[in-house]
Amino acid sequence: MQIWKMGFMLLEGTIFVLIVKLETKLYRKHIWYSQKGKLMLYIQLKKAPYSMLQAVLLFWRLLSNTLQKWRFKINKYDQCVTNKTINGKQCTIIWHVDNLKVSHTDKEVV
């Protein structure tokens, strides 16, 4: 499986077989053979696939860069944890994929 910036993905192998079995009529006209005779399917994505490493990495970069611009410090042992002192108390932001937990003693800060 390969993904390009333009939002297209090349499916082959097991994922190709499963997708085509799922909606044979829909995908039949888009199937083609590579020069080596391998069945292939190009599809256009409407958005980045949630489970793809590229999507997760892009989100992590955006979030961590934004938090650092806001002067949060990235934890050197876990790079999905940031801290910043706000109003004399520690504010912590922890995330996994695109789920965030923000904690601070003042709910207005959160």
Query: Taking the CA atoms of the chain, what radius of gyration do you get in angstroms?
Result: 21
Closest by alpha carbon to 69, among 84, 79, 54, 81? 84
Task: Give the residue from 66, 84, 85 showing the smallest Cα distance to 75.
Answer: 84
What ranges do the domains of the chain cover?
2-44, 53-103
Q: What is the per-residue pLDDT across 72-81, written as a single tens digit (0 to 9) for each?
A: 999 999 999 9
pLDDT digits (tens, 9 = 90+) for 25-38: 888 888 888 888 88
More confident residue, 69 or 28: 69
Residue 51 has pLDDT above 80, yes or no: no
Using a cut of 0.75, tell me whether the model's pTM lies above it.
no
- Neighbouring C-alpha atoms within 13 Å toward the C-beta of 67: 24
The predicted pLDDT at position 50 comes to 57
